[in-house]
A and B are shown apart, each in its own frame.
Chain A
Amino acid sequence: MDERKFKKMNRRELLKVAPVLALGAFAIPRLREPLLEKGLAFSDWASGKLFRPGHLAPTFTETDLTPFAKFPINGYDVDDPGVIFENWSLTVTGAVQKPGDYKLSQIQALPRTRQNTRHICVEGWDVIGRFGGTRLSEFLKMVGADPTARFVTLQCADDYYESLDMATAMHPQTLLCYEMYDQPLTREHGAPVRLTVPTKIGYKQAKYLTDLKVTHVLERVGYWEDQGYSWFYGL
């Protein structure tokens, strides 16, 4: 083969590698954002597929617990939004048979679950805490939530908001948590009631809950999700 023909063949072979250049789309600012949104959405879709409703997050013994004093307090705004406990109630709306304001005593009248589970922050740190409360599934049953509804949206006293897919909301370890380390929840940890979801990342564990809405469509996603974080973020 003469040299020119060899060079031509090399150019043809080079073209076969050209599809790699499609990744260059990520270098174009106008395309980058929608592409990364698609990537994140695909990850969330895969997370949803990988989620197993009956699979429990690992639980730990008392000796594994992070001491309460070393359990980080992470709020997006204030550590204490000044909830007046005497007036507090959880306002339930949406696709439920019994909407209304539910008092803490009504939540506490449901069976109590206590569990030592790992809390993982999106930043990368993790702690093992002891959480006590009512299974969200029990509460949803009490308020007569529509079993075909797909989402639970939560509003917090500090304007934080979050949402869960129904499968996660019904998971046996998902709690309306009113106790940590066998003591009533403290203000900075989200008193009087917060969410504990050991199958999800830390920012899904909303604190100082005030409103709960059961819906068929996702109306509000979540505070951090609206900044660009993953919505499902199942662990």
Chain B
Amino acid sequence: MQAEVIEVESAKTGESVQAVYEHSWPVRVSHWLNAVALFVLVGSGLQIFRAFPSFGAKIPQKDLLNWPKAFAIGGWLGGALQWHLTFMWIYIATGLFYLGYEAFSRNYRQVLVVPDDVRGIWPMARHYFFFGPKPPATEVYNPLQKLAYTSVLGLGVLSVLTGLAVWKPVQFSWLAWLMGGFHLARLWHFLVMWGIVFFLLGHLVMVVVHGWNNFRSMLTGWKKDPEYTPR
């Protein structure tokens, strides 16, 4: 895919390096809106969960875990529901805006994992987890990254669908039925949330490992001296 590439000359040495425009503004705005929305939705969701921290019967109630209040948003069930029912709209609107932009701009070719990427997934995983040799970078995202982003996009869609089934099990009774009923939809919603949290942990580790130059590209779009050869 054609990326915007420029040469940047250092004022001191006069040496020049390449800079590539990786993320256009709709992607960056979506990313940060989504980051805030996810933070609020996970935090308030956990506070809502605290009201009935179980997936079994009400009588007798067997709690699954006692999630600490300090790591939740909203303070009480009603407050958490206000946050959740407000930020879900921001989350959904951002998601639709992003997906629409990806389809329209054809930028999804940078993000989605394709069959050609499959061969490259294991070498990348071996490099990250078992100190294997680093496979040469050929594009903005490596195959493992694409797999992670594609998966989390799927989880994002599932989080909305399972959430709809929990919020509206009557109007969207077909959706709740697909998930095995309201009772199970609530469990799926919870598990999808942990899937996203698991991704975020890995994502944040990678951000720290790859440093400022990489992080900046999600703020300004530009990455200096990319590790791959822009095409």
Residues on B with C-beta less than 8 A from A120 are 169, 182
Residues on A with C-beta less than 8 A from B10 are: 3
- Residues of chain B within 8 A (CB-CB) of A19 are 29
With an 8 Å Cβ cutoff, the count of chain A residues facing the other chain is 54
Given known pairs A55-B171, A58-B173, the reply for A35 and B86 (CB within 8 Å) is: yes
Contact yes or no, B168 A2, CB < 8 A: no
A228 within 8 A of partner (CB)? yes
Scoring B48, B49, B220 by chain A CB atoms within 10 A of each residue's CB, the highest score goes to B220
- Whether the pair B87, A118 counts as a contact (CB closer than 8 A) is no
- Contact check, B86 vs A16: say whether CB atoms are below 8 A apart: no
User: Tally of A-B residue pairs with Cβ under 8 A?
Assistant: 137
Chain B residues contacting A13 (CB-CB under 8 Å) are: 25, 219-222
Instruction: Answer whether residue B216 sits at the interface, using C-beta atoms and an 8 A cutoff.
Output: yes
Q: Which of A1, A4, A23 contacts B36 (CB 8 A)?
A: A23
* Interface majority SS (helix, strand, loop, mixed), chain B: helix
Q: A13-B222, A123-B77 are in contact. Are A39 and B168 (CB under 8 A)?
A: no
**A50 engages B168 (CB within 8 Å):** yes
Binary contact readout B38-73 vs A (1 if CB under 8 angstroms, 0 otherwise):
001000000011011010011101000000000000
Q: Is the CB of B170 within 8 A of A58?
A: yes
B216: A residues at CB distance < 8 A:
10
- A104 touches B (CB below 8 Å): no
**Looking across the interface, which residue of chain B has its beta carbon closest to that of A22?**
B33
* The stretch of B1-9, B134-142, B152-160 that contacts the partner chain: B1-9
Asked whether, in the complex, the Cβ of A6 is within 8 Å of the Cβ of B19, the reply is yes
Given contacts A6-B19, A125-B54, whether A51 and B82 have CB atoms under 8 Å apart is no
User: Whole-angstrom distance from the CB of A228 to the nearest CB of chain B?
Assistant: 4
Q: Which of B8, B85, B170, B182 contacts A40 (CB 8 A)?
A: B85
Q: In this assembly, does A113 line the interface, its C-beta being within 8 Å of a C-beta of chain B? A: no
Instruction: Confirm or deny: B81 has a beta carbon within 8 angstroms of a beta carbon on chain A.
Output: yes
A36 to chain B, nearest CB (A): 4
Q: Would you give 28 A-B contacts (Cβ < 8 Å), ordered by A?
A: A3-B9, A6-B19, A9-B220, A10-B220, A10-B222, A13-B220, A16-B25, A17-B25, A19-B29, A36-B82, A39-B83, A39-B89, A42-B89, A47-B168, A55-B171, A118-B169, A118-B182, A122-B51, A125-B61, A126-B58, A199-B170, A224-B78, A227-B78, A228-B78, A230-B81, A234-B168, A234-B171, A235-B171
Give 9 nearest A-B pairs by CB, closest first. A39-B86, A124-B52, A125-B58, A123-B51, A13-B220, A10-B220, A235-B170, A16-B25, A43-B85
